[in-house]
């Protein structure tokens, strides 16, 4: 189990906060505010938006990190970093924190859903998964509302409960949580939604059906914008997509061992390759 480091035993838990929308996003402030109720918070977050960065790390460029007073009003130490969310967690663990180990890594709250296949493209979840790789309890939080001024006011009780339970019980080894909150207002009806509870789910088997907008720049050169539509043929009621679309908070435990064990047997049986 990944539990609090002994060196922090007599102190409040140390909570590392990161995100992928950048240190100035509304979602990270919501998360920082909530976490100050549970422990000592340190923020290490990108200095610019990093959405869609997946598990990217910066290896061919130098990184810059500098102290920021953006959360001074909350009494929270913060650093902004030129790199990706995964870089931020590595930087915190191996450089900034030196002899202290965070008791919890939290990332978000992302402006936009990270259910299903979106976990692969998600910078928010890469920070959480990087935490889990480092042996730390870690959670990525996302809100199913892409708006810059998204309303996060309804998520606080669940944010606190999930973080509290993780601090108290730890998480199984090599697992991070992918937590998604329903939007406060229904996208179509604009009716306010009440969260009905939380469900521990599996990742829905859905995907993005892409299309590319072909445009012409002021110099007559063609360029493209990636756009896509989320397609979910998975009708299971045990999925994260079902949960958030039915008023529940979805909690998916995620692993970073990507081995498809059933595939090993299949290839050993079916293939004819010199071994």
Shortest gap between Cβ of 86 and a second copy (angstroms)? 7
Distance CA 221, CA 191 (A): 44
Nearer of residues 11 and 169 to a second copy, judged by Cβ? 169
Nearer of residues 72 and 231 to a second copy, judged by Cβ? 231
Nearer of residues 11 and 95 to a second copy, judged by Cβ? 95
Shortest gap between Cβ of 184 and a second copy (angstroms)? 18
Nearer of residues 188 and 274 to a second copy, judged by Cβ? 274
DSSP readout, 120-175? HH-HHHHHHHHHHHTT--EEEEEES---TT---TTTHHHHHHHHHHHHHH---TTE
By CB neighbour count within 10 A (0-12 exposed, 13-18 middle, 19+ buried), where does 273 fall?
exposed
Nearer of residues 12 and 227 to a second copy, judged by Cβ? 227
Shortest gap between Cβ of 259 and a second copy (angstroms)? 4
CB-CB contact of 182 with 249 (8 Å): yes
DSSP readout, 188-238? TT--B----EEEE-BPP--EEEEEEEEEE-TTS-EEEEEEEEEE-----TT
DSSP SS3 for 184: coil
Shortest gap between Cβ of 43 and a second copy (angstroms)? 18
Instruction: State the DSSP code for 8.
Output: G
Shortest gap between Cβ of 98 and a second copy (angstroms)? 11
Distance CA 227, CA 154 (A): 29
Shortest gap between Cβ of 225 and a second copy (angstroms)? 6
Nearer of residues 11 and 211 to a second copy, judged by Cβ? 211
């Amino acid at each position: 189990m990944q539990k609090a480091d002994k060196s922090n035993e007599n102190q409040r838990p140390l909570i590392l906060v990161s995100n992928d929308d950048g240190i100035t996003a509304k979602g990270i402030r919501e998360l920082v505010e909530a976490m100050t109720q549970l422990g000592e918070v340190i923020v290490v977050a990108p200095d610019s938006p990093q959405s869609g960065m997946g598990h990217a790390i910066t290896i061919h460029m130098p990184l810059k990190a500098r102290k920021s007073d953006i959360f001074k009003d909350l009494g929270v130490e913060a650093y902004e970093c030129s790199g990706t969310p995964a870089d931020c967690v590595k930087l915190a663990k191996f450089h900034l924190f030196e002899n202290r180990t965070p008791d919890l890594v939290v990332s978000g709250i992302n402006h936009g859903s990270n259910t299903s296949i979106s976990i692969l493209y998600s910078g928010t979840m890469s920070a959480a998964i990087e935490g889990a790789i480092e042996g730390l309890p870690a959670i990525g939080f996302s809100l199913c509302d892409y708006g810059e001024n998204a309303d996060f006011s309804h998520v606080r009780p669940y944010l606190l409960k999930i973080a509290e339970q993780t601090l108290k019980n730890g998480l199984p080894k090599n697992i991070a949580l992918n937590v998604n909150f329903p939007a406060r207002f229904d996208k179509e009806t604009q009716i306010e939604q009440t969260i009905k509870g939380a469900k521990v789910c599996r990742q829905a088997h859905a995907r993005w059906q892409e299309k590319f907008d072909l445009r012409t720049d002021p110099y007559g050169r063609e360029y493209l914008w990636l756009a896509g539509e989320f397609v979910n043929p998975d009708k299971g009621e045990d999925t994260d997509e079902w949960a958030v679309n039915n008023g529940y908070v979805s909690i998916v435990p995620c692993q970073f061992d990507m081995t498809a064990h059933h595939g090993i047997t299949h290839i050993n049986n079916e293939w004819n390759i010199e071994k």
